[in-house]
Structure 1
């Protein structure tokens, strides 16, 4: 596929979103799913916005509509924030499960901490893409 076609496809996907989604890799844990407490499943946040996130986990297959609690560990800031989200979708990707969560509850400071960490990295990557130094 030509680069211009890929960019058009990427733009089309972004245009459907109300909020900008920041691609990232934030260590996290699933601590509650579908009312089951004390579940501790290692996970990674793959992208984040003010309203939702995409999570990658190993051994969990949640039902759409179920509620989950996630702990996020903000690297280099030694910060932990928790959020409650609703499972919107899930799918198998490369021997893992990816889960789309709509954020239902998160501390305002938690959202700010996450965005303060991911935004500069996202901006740096976008500049490299624009300058042709980073290949999509």
Structure 2
């Protein structure tokens, strides 16, 4: 094969790659840079801001500790009721929610169903009539 044929074959392969990439990107249903329900989150952001402000004002940041195959969350007040959203940065299909309610100042959540690796845990709870929200990063070994 001469140089001209090699150049034409290389250009053809590159064009096929570009066209294939275009069809793949257009065929994708979601955009990873866009929130699923960003209008709803934008409307209710003042509530989120108030919860985070309450967290700072009351110094109510909970403490998370791994103990074996469970996660212990220690709150500053007792009688907490809320929800934990588990978000996996590398795979959004693994995102889950857990609801909790406790009369004491701590709650234990099982970790058996969670994969190893990095997790972002968003806690939203109410303690002694005040709403709070915090975000924690956790690595499950």
TM-score scaled by structure 2?
A: 0.30
Structure with the greater alpha carbon radius of gyration: 2
TM-score scaled by structure 1?
A: 0.31
Greater fraction of residues in strand: 1
Greater fraction of residues in helix: 2
